[in-house]
């Protein structure tokens, strides 16, 4: 049923720019969060991981994330002295099969110091060190949702910022040539990291998630946005919905979009039922940076070969591996 | 497709008794866990909750669970001086809409001091206070699965034991007339609590979950057992599967079954695709207590009116409200 | 796909008031039907039914319905002398598993003389004594649909009125404190009974069915309204469709709504695909009595805990059990 | 899923012959029923129905069925003086769109006096004149199921016998050359009519329904056999199941099969999920007449062109139109 | 979900007339194609095929189609000397089970010399003799789609024209009384043949396919139009989409519609999800001939008994068999 | 439903070795085919294709395949003088989105001269130059299926062999270090190419298709094997089924398996519903070469990260890039 465009027509998407839903202390909240992150010293460890490829070295990396959480990643470095451009990678929601090490290695083969962060609680040894004060629906979407201080994605966003700092601190990495990329949840983290860190010079987000929650709840035909719907079913107090939506506003990449200063590229398929096109355009249309969007009429929430080529080209030009 | 019996025929189910998969330190593990629980002082608070019914009072109850976790429940007390028989209630996995307060109240209208525990992390203010050392699939089935000390259900089982202790400590509750009941995850907790606490004199478990994991992984056509399959997909190291299955063995209600001493009743539908009949019989056939099982040919994982009546009758006879 | 609002937005629903589709003899038809009902003497028999609960007695009740049809119900009476407020219960379409006796008993535990009518032909010993003059699609929606005199629901509506009369006639029941309630088909019967009988002082209808048929046929994504679509497929004569819709107009609770004089409460979920919100609002907006509607954004055609509490409260205040 | 064989392998099907489940008074019941039918005088009326074809005349026929029920059919007669061979047609369950008049006409174009009976209650003006003493699941499968005297199909089987008598009585019909045919429910009626009437000289049943109920309830992945499962869900008393299965035994075409004396042909697809192959073979293997079965590996419960040709050929040879 | 009208409302459909998308050389292309067809001499062979019916003779027919391709058909002739009216039949996409010989025979029984063309490559010995210069999605929709000269349906349309010429050339066929009919792809071929050949005096197209491609790609919820979507997914170059849509414009029966001069009848169901009503009306509303459309509110892409009767009547009146 | 193992248990799979179904002239047929291929001179053209990566050059390659068909591929060469090991890649059925150029490039980044063949008719400019003498079901599985000389895969297998010859002939390619790999249809081609060409020194086949057809037709729950089932539905003559199965025997990689001499690795997931595990083991167990199989309990017909690493390692060791 959802194989055909089900959201707004492209001509309307291109103009779709709902008002931001930022709370008055939106920026203050993030400054406060970043200050807290800054209080945790940058610390990481590398352990080589045998991998059947030449000209690249793979490491398991573990670093201290928000509030000191153990965050694992995979780092693949091209052979040679560098300096190499860095590429920070983020994975999709409830995913990262086997840590997606092949992708990480492939990026290194392209000439990047590529580092994938495994999201806390979702994969590997990445630890979600928040003890949430209330119950949630299965999944991560409603963990800590009654308070912006406690919400799950606060830690994740800060881990992402710290991941960039770790990457930038590596010997062979050229700090001035660092990009961020990922799809779905990884696309949201891409935009969030670009909004909250000044390290990246380019951000490439495929069908970003966590955008324009209020519409997503109403229009997404499938996918993890529904965890929010389920949470509201199980907790029917209207005040809870109000508080939850207030919390979500801090993490909505639409609200973070205007903070982004680096070159930003977004892709979206018009039959994407997981991250509806209008939610993606809502965020995109609030970007004030040098930006572009790649739209694919016949694709949903999936790998899009032509998007991949555009992204490769963009990174090539921006990061010059 | 699963509307017809898909598991073993009833005649085989009745004899289906696979070997226990207990580790050598199975009992020691639970004694150790209970000792640790005993170290946390019994503590709870009641707050009245307005409810539109006569002859019953409803309270939000909060108590200190395993390792001091905040565990919320709902307690409904019949009007009068008591002493009343107590009934400990456990809810299904990823559920407990609005805390199922209507069910709790209905039990009190039947004459029981009825208390529902909200499972840590799943609902209300029940806090999962474990910080897990590795990532998991969305949901609770694989949280901490690499170690029996860390596994999610360790806390839940201990919270359940403590919940019983709290209920038994209440003024108007007759400690000698306490039962436990619940369905699905609540059925598993019913059996676990009966195995790990000597408080209950009767246990009534509807289509219990967390039973005979090894077969469940292979045969369950649907439901949260699949979280285990997904975890093994994402983490393909055979050693991880081995460790996880070892961990699960501690929490398998089949392995706990022989510890149960109180009167135990189990119900199961033969077209249940979430908790396959064979997994339920595997646990049931290892019970060594006074026991009975109610089998429903035409029902799946759902409310079964006739099972409910059997349960009411059993509790009536055993707990004499 | 239908997890998101698919019908009109709430702001439009609140104003949605299509013209009534009553035939000129609409009221005359119902007066005639009531007169015919009145011609059947009030007659019933009670037989105790053993039930495992204290403080309540359960009876199988059998009474003479429209044209003398044998209609079965379940009656649960609180212990004591009364007088008790009465609560007439109606069940959903093609349902009433095991006569829903547990629900009936629960209402009695709340203090009501509670009586569930089993719909003729659908459950128990309730007899559909109409011999229909033409074939129909499986189910009851198209039985006798070519004539308002023969249509299936004529008997059901009259049985409901008579059920109220039976309940009101019981010794321990306070005739001045009688309510009606039910969901789906039971919600339709609740509204129909309130419109056609002056006994009830309060009516509580959850997601009522049989409302605004013309739109339901066009918009309901699922459920028994489709029996009408199927009937029209199999009998393609446009005149048949015209006659059938004319017949349905007599039974449309939208058309009956203005007749209701008692306090009326309606509930509806905005993702209800069986009784689309617009069909429910169409009826609700034609109510001229003291009324309120409870709207649930995240719920479909299902049990809604918060609606249940609202209903309990309303009945508590209105019927003072 | 059911695109692949899911029932017994063909080699086992060919030998699959479960014991009959006849009650001791099985034959007596049917003799009694036939005697009662014989008490109703043969009566019918014809009304021409305009139809856009040459060389054939179409009539609506109405005759008195069991207990005088009004039974409608369609009769198509080739132009000419005859005598023509007669072909009695029966339709599928819950079906007969627009009375399937095109099929009836096509048979007449082939040279047969073709008459389709519309099943009582299911289509047209065919009246189900039984007032059932208890409620049933939507559909006809459980109507009157607690007694063989009241069961829905008693009337239908007798109507079918009477239909044959009507057809045989027509002026231009050669009574010695009459066949019966139909698919699914129509296949069951074909076999039942051949078992209960000595008029037909040939019976051709496509994927017959109402065969070997006990297995059908357990193995049919889909279709109206499930009404029985649903009835047993809603009425869980084991005695009800026992009585219902006893009732069904009278109507099981497997039990009727040994009574058939005329040439009989049956067809079945091996991926038929509505009338599982084993239930069809169970009936077929109990046939003691001149018989053959056409098996189609790649077909389900649907029109099978090659089966149609076999049937045409059989009728051609047997009835010589 | 698609059981209810999902496309434009009927009142809008009746006026829905998008601009034609013809290329400037549209007519020239078809004249060129017809000239090329004319260069192939009319040639066919008949082979009798045994069939169990009286008064009709069935033949396998093989004729030389576009560019000499071997095209098979089935021809059924009424017994007698004729001359008979001719009826050219076309089958649905990816179909023609066993060559649909029973349908062909039935038409002959109605008095027509009936001939079914098996579409090249889709069934029987009909040969698709084009060697396509590029790959395509499975199916025929994208074969040769980058050029109107190479596109699959060019050959099919020309084979259809030639089929009419063959039929018209038969001894016993009255060339002045020839009609064309078919459903879905067969409906498209019906319209195309009527547009490209002056032989037919009547065309009857059930839910015609290959109409208004641009909208079909966007709105069809299911069916083979999706092959186009898939082709564009796999070949994302926008220029390819442009070229493909240009090619399709030549074969769009909407663009061919104004060429039709004979009496034309179209049928469509309003819940048809394979050939959306708006695409059918788009073509219909561009017809400039004597025309009518039969609309069925409750039907999808399926056999519609009432449509069949209308068609029979139309052919009866027009072709006088 | 098919998330759990549905085929034979692993212990049986490991021993599952059905008899070969080779026709007497099996080897002769392939020798004849190879001789015919040899008659076509080796010819190819390269055209650079801009691609955003360093250290690798991408070319569109076009070569003359079986009977001179134009076959397109993508060739990616590492920068440098070589000689490089060669890797021939084959894609899945009805696929190769955008020619899978990113995968081809990734292999080159690993150090291989990597060449993907686009299967004739399925993608790009690869031309299926066979004109088939009969119709087929949509797709390629039944094209030419009535004769081994005409069957679609004859050309494809020969194109694959020729592709290897082209790759081996390239200047910078080390002919002694050439491997073949692919998944699904690409896995079948991998095995076929290894069986029919002596160029590859290693073959790595992921979940190979076209294996043990007779069982696949009966057991595959989904996927293109069903095209065969559909073909047999539409063409029900048993002789056609016999001829088709005879044809398939020539192309069954189970029958080709014993011809393979090079190191061979196969992977399969136990919940693969497209290429059932038993069909893969049937082929594997007939391999007589140095072989190994990687089995994945929790995976279906999809990308398996751990399989990919095993394959990388195997190629690394065998081809030493």
Rounded to whole angstroms, the Cα distance separating D43 from D21 reads 35
Three-state DSSP class for F45?
A: strand
Which residues in chain B touch residue F297, judged by CB atoms under 8 angstroms apart? 232
- Which of F3, F219, F232, F236 is best to mutate for the D interface (most D CBs within 10 A)? F236
Q: Of F3, F304, F306, which has the smallest distance from its Cβ to B226's Cβ? A: F3
Residue E4 is predicted with a pLDDT of 75
Identify the sign of the CA torsion D227, D228, D231, D236.
negative
Contacts (Cβ under 8 Å, ≥6 apart) of A134: A144, A146, B124, B125, B126, B127
**DSSP string of E231-272?**
HHHHS--HHHHHHHHHHHHHH-HHHHGGG--SEEEEEEETT-
Average pLDDT score over chain E: 97
Read off the tokens for A17.
């720019």
CB-CB under 8 Å, F98 with A306: yes
Chain E residues in contact with chain C using a Cβ-Cβ cutoff of 8 Å: 1, 3-5, 296-299, 304-306
Residue C1 is predicted with a pLDDT of 38
What CATH number did the domain enclosing B239 receive? 3.40.50.1820
Structural domains in chain F (count): 1
Q: Domain range spanning residue E124? A: 10-316
Q: Of A1, A304, A306, which has the smallest distance from its Cβ to E1's Cβ? A: A1
Count of residues for chain C?
A: 321
Q: Which residues of B189-212 are buried (b: 16+ CB within 10 A; e: fewer)?
A: bbbbbbbbbebbbbbbbbbbbbbb
Instruction: Look at strands D70-78 and D113-117 and give their pairing.
Output: antiparallel
Nearest-Cα residue of chain C relative to residue D138: C139
User: Residue A5 falls within a domain, yes or no?
Assistant: no
ipTM of the complex: 0.96
Which residues in chain C touch residue D226, judged by CB atoms under 8 angstroms apart? none
Q: Of F122, F128, F234, which has the smallest distance from its Cβ to E123's Cβ? A: F234
User: Residue D288 falls within a domain, yes or no?
Assistant: yes
Furthest-apart CA atoms within chain B: distance in Å: 59
Three-state DSSP class for A61?
A: strand
Q: For residues A96-112, give the mean pLDDT.
A: 97
Interface chains of chain A (3 or more CB pairs under 8 Å): B, C, E, F
Do E and B make contact via 3 or more CB pairs under 8 A? The reply is: no
Nearest-Cα residue of chain B relative to residue F298: B233
CB-CB under 8 Å, E236 with A306: yes
CB-CB under 8 Å, C120 with D235: no
User: Per-residue pLDDT for D3 more than 70?
Assistant: no
Alpha-carbon gap: D298 to the closest alpha carbon of chain F (Å): 6
Do A and F make contact via 3 or more CB pairs under 8 A? The reply is: yes
Do D and B make contact via 3 or more CB pairs under 8 A? The reply is: yes
- pLDDT confidence of E1, banded at 50, 70, 90? very low
The tens digit of pLDDT for each residue in A36-80 reads 999 999 999 999 999 999 999 999 999 999 999 999 999 999 999
Which residues in chain F touch residue D297, judged by CB atoms under 8 angstroms apart? 232
Q: For residues B283-308, give the mean pLDDT.
A: 98
Rounded to whole angstroms, the Cα distance separating F282 from F288 reads 13
Chain F residues in contact with chain D using a Cβ-Cβ cutoff of 8 Å: 1-2, 218-221, 226, 229-230, 232-233, 236
Note whether B92 and B184 are within 8 A (CB): yes
Chain F residues in contact with chain A using a Cβ-Cβ cutoff of 8 Å: 51-55, 97-98, 100-102, 106, 109-111, 305-306, 308-309, 312-313, 315-316, 321
User: Would you name the residues of C annotated as active-site residues?
Assistant: 184, 272, 301
Nearest-Cα residue of chain C relative to residue A274: C1
Q: What is the DSSP secondary structure assignment for residue A39, as one 8-state letter?
A: T
The tens digit of pLDDT for each residue in F230-267 reads 999 999 999 999 999 999 999 999 999 999 999 999 99
Residue A5 is predicted with a pLDDT of 84
The tens digit of pLDDT for each residue in D246-296 reads 999 999 999 999 999 999 999 999 999 999 999 999 999 999 999 999 999
Rounded to whole angstroms, the Cα distance separating C150 from C132 reads 7
Read off the tokens for B287.
């019970």
Do C and F make contact via 3 or more CB pairs under 8 A? The reply is: no
The tens digit of pLDDT for each residue in C254-297 reads 999 999 999 999 999 999 999 999 999 999 999 999 999 999 99
Residue F1 is predicted with a pLDDT of 38
Rounded to whole angstroms, the Cα distance separating E93 from A314 reads 44
Spacing of C-alpha C114 from chain mean position: 15
Please say if D184 is a catalytic residue.
Answer: yes
Nearest-Cα residue of chain C relative to residue A273: C1
Identify the sign of the CA torsion F90, F93, F94, F98.
negative
Rounded to whole angstroms, the Cα distance separating C67 from C181 reads 24
Residue E3 is predicted with a pLDDT of 52
- pLDDT confidence of A3, banded at 50, 70, 90? low
CA distances from F255 to F5, F204, F258, F277 (A): 26, 18, 7, 17
Interface chains of chain B (3 or more CB pairs under 8 Å): A, C, D, F
CB-CB under 8 Å, F1 with B233: no
Spacing of C-alpha B30 from chain mean position: 16
Which residues in chain B touch residue D218, judged by CB atoms under 8 angstroms apart? 4-5
The tens digit of pLDDT for each residue in F145-197 reads 999 999 999 999 999 999 999 999 999 999 999 999 999 999 999 999 999 99
Rounded to whole angstroms, the Cα distance separating A314 from A304 reads 15
User: Residue A299 falls within a domain, yes or no?
Assistant: yes
User: Residue A321 falls within a domain, yes or no?
Assistant: no
CA nearest to A22, candidates A290, A283, A289:
A283
Residue C4 is predicted with a pLDDT of 75
Q: Give me the residue label for tokens 């990457």.
A: A167
Residue B79 is predicted with a pLDDT of 97
Q: Of F121, F127, F134, which has the smallest distance from its Cβ to E125's Cβ? A: F134
Burial classification of residue B148, based on how many CB atoms lie within 10 Å of its CB (0-12 exposed, 13-18 middle, 19 or more buried): buried
Read off the tokens for D262.
């005329």
The tens digit of pLDDT for each residue in A133-169 reads 999 999 999 999 999 999 999 999 999 999 999 999 9
- Which of E94, E138, E224 is best to mutate for the F interface (most F CBs within 10 A)? E138
Rounded to whole angstroms, the Cα distance separating A106 from B258 reads 53
H or E element in which residue A268 lies:
strand A263-269
Q: Of A123, A126, A135, which has the smallest distance from its Cβ to B123's Cβ? A: A135
Residue E5 is predicted with a pLDDT of 84
Residue A318 is predicted with a pLDDT of 98
The tens digit of pLDDT for each residue in C43-94 reads 999 999 999 999 999 999 999 999 999 999 999 999 999 899 999 999 999 9
Which residues in chain D touch residue F218, judged by CB atoms under 8 angstroms apart? 4-5
Burial classification of residue F135, based on how many CB atoms lie within 10 Å of its CB (0-12 exposed, 13-18 middle, 19 or more buried): buried
- Which of A231, A233, A273 is best to mutate for the C interface (most C CBs within 10 A)? A233
**DSSP string of F98-128?**
GGGHHHHHHHHHTT-EEEEEPPTTTSTT---
CA distances from D14 to D202, D211, E176 (A): 22, 16, 55
* Helix boundaries (H) for A125-177: 152-169
Q: Of B4, B304, B306, which has the smallest distance from its Cβ to D218's Cβ? A: B4
Residue B2 is predicted with a pLDDT of 43
Which residues in chain E touch residue F98, judged by CB atoms under 8 angstroms apart? 234-236
Interface chains of chain C (3 or more CB pairs under 8 Å): A, B, D, E
**DSSP string of A67-114?**
GG-EEEEEEEEESSS--EEEEEEEPPTT--GGGGHHHHHHHHHTT-EE
CB-CB under 8 Å, A306 with F110: no
Note whether B119 and B145 are within 8 A (CB): no
Rounded to whole angstroms, the Cα distance separating A218 from C138 reads 36
The tens digit of pLDDT for each residue in D295-318 reads 999 999 999 999 999 999 999 999
Identify the sign of the CA torsion A190, A195, A197, A200.
positive
SS3 readout for chain D: CCCCCCCCCHHHHCCCCCCCCCCCCHHHHHHHHHHHHHHCCCCEEEEECCCCCCCEEEEEEEEECHHHCEEEEEEEEECCCCCEEEEEEECCCCCCHHHHHHHHHHHHHCCCEEEEECCCCCCCCCCCCCCCCCCCCCCCCCCCCCCCCCCHHHHHHHHHHHHHHHHHHCCCEEEEEEEEEEECHHHHHHHHHHHHCCCCCEEEEECCCCCCHHHHHHHCCCCCHHHHHHHHHHCCCHHHHHHHHHHHHHHCHHHHHHHCCCEEEEEEECCCCCCCHHHHHHHHCCCCCCEEEEEECCCCCCCCHHHHHHHHHHHHHHHCC
Rounded to whole angstroms, the Cα distance separating E78 from E59 reads 11
The tens digit of pLDDT for each residue in B71-88 reads 999 999 999 998 999 999
Catalytic residue from among D142, D184, D249, D278: D184
The structure's pTM equals 0.97
CA atoms within 13 A on the CB side of D261: 6
Please give the interface size between A and E, counted as residue pairs whose CB atoms are below 8 Å apart: 22
Q: Which residues of C77-111 are buried (b: 16+ CB within 10 A; e: fewer)?
A: bbeeebebbbbbbbbbbbbbbbbbbbbbbbbbbbb
Q: Of B52, B53, B305, which has the smallest distance from its Cβ to C98's Cβ? A: B305
Tell me phi and psi for residue D277, to 5 degrees: -50, -40
Residue E2 is predicted with a pLDDT of 42
Contacts (Cβ under 8 Å, ≥6 apart) of F23: F29, F246, F249, F250
Q: What is the DSSP secondary structure assignment for residue F97, as one 8-state letter?
A: G
Residue D1 is predicted with a pLDDT of 39
User: Residue D321 falls within a domain, yes or no?
Assistant: no
Rounded to whole angstroms, the Cα distance separating F139 from A17 reads 44
Tell me phi and psi for residue C148, to 5 degrees: -65, -25
Q: For residues A182-189, give the mean pLDDT.
A: 98
Rounded to whole angstroms, the Cα distance separating F50 from F59 reads 8
Residue C3 is predicted with a pLDDT of 52
Q: For residues F2-11, give the mean pLDDT.
A: 83
Read off the tokens for A79.
């052979």
**DSSP string of F118-171?**
PPTTTSTT-------SS---SSSTTTTTT-TTT-HHHHHHHHHHHHHHHHHHST
CA nearest to D237, candidates B275, C259, C195, B296:
B296
Residue B3 is predicted with a pLDDT of 55
The tens digit of pLDDT for each residue in B165-189 reads 999 999 999 999 999 999 999 999 9
The tens digit of pLDDT for each residue in B238-281 reads 999 999 999 999 999 999 999 999 999 999 999 999 999 999 99
For residue F83, say if its preceding peptide bond is cis, omega within 30 degrees of 0: yes
Angle at F7 between CA F3 and CA F11, to 5 degrees: 115
User: Residue C3 falls within a domain, yes or no?
Assistant: no
Q: What is the DSSP secondary structure assignment for residue F273, as one 8-state letter?
A: S
Q: For residues A116-121, give the mean pLDDT.
A: 98
Note whether A89 and A311 are within 8 A (CB): no
The tens digit of pLDDT for each residue in D112-134 reads 999 999 999 999 999 999 999 99
Which residues in chain D touch residue E109, judged by CB atoms under 8 angstroms apart? 106, 109-110
User: Residue F230 falls within a domain, yes or no?
Assistant: yes
Note whether F240 and F146 are within 8 A (CB): yes
User: Residue A126 falls within a domain, yes or no?
Assistant: yes
CA distances from C72 to B275, C194, D133, E61, F42 (A): 36, 20, 11, 68, 87
């Amino acid at each position: 049923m959802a194989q055909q465009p089900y959201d707004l027509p492209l001509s309307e998407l291109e103009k779709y720019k709902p008002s931001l839903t930022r709370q008055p202390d939106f920026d203050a909240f993030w400054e406060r969060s970043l200050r807290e992150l800054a209080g945790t010293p940058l610390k990481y460890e590398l352990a080589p991981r045998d991998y059947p490829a030449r000209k690249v070295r793979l490491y398991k990396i573990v670093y201290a994330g928000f509030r000191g959480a153990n965050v694992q990643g995979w780092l693949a470095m091209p052979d040679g002295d560098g300096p190499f451009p860095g590429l920070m990678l983020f994975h999709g929601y409830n995913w990262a099969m086997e840590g997606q090490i092949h992708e990480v290695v492939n990026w290194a083969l392209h000439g990047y110091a590529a580092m994938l962060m495994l999201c806390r609680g979702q994969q590997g040894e990445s630890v979600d060190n928040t003890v949430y004060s209330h119950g949630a629906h299965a999944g991560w979407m409603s963990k800590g949702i009654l308070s912006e201080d406690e919400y799950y994605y606060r830690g994740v966003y800060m881990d992402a910022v710290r991941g960039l700092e770790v990457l930038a601190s590596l010997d062979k990495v050229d700090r001035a040539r660092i990009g961020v990329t990922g799809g779905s949840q990884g696309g949201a983290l891409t935009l969030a990291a670009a909004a909250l860190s000044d390290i990246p010079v380019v951000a490439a987000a495929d069908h970003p998630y966590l955008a324009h929650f209020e519409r997503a709840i109403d229009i997404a035909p499938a996918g993890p946005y529904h965890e929010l719907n389920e949470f509201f079913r199980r907790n029917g107090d209207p005040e809870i919905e109000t508080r939850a939506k207030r919390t979500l506003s801090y993490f909505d990449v639409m609200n973070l979009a205007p903070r982004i200063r680096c070159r930003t590229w977004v892709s979206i398929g018009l039959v994407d039922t997981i991250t509806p096109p209008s939610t993606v355009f809502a965020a995109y249309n609030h970007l004030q940076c040098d930006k572009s969007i790649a739209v694919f009429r016949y694709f949903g929430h999936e790998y899009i070969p032509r998007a991949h080529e555009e992204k490769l080209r963009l990174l090539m030009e921006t990061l010059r591996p």
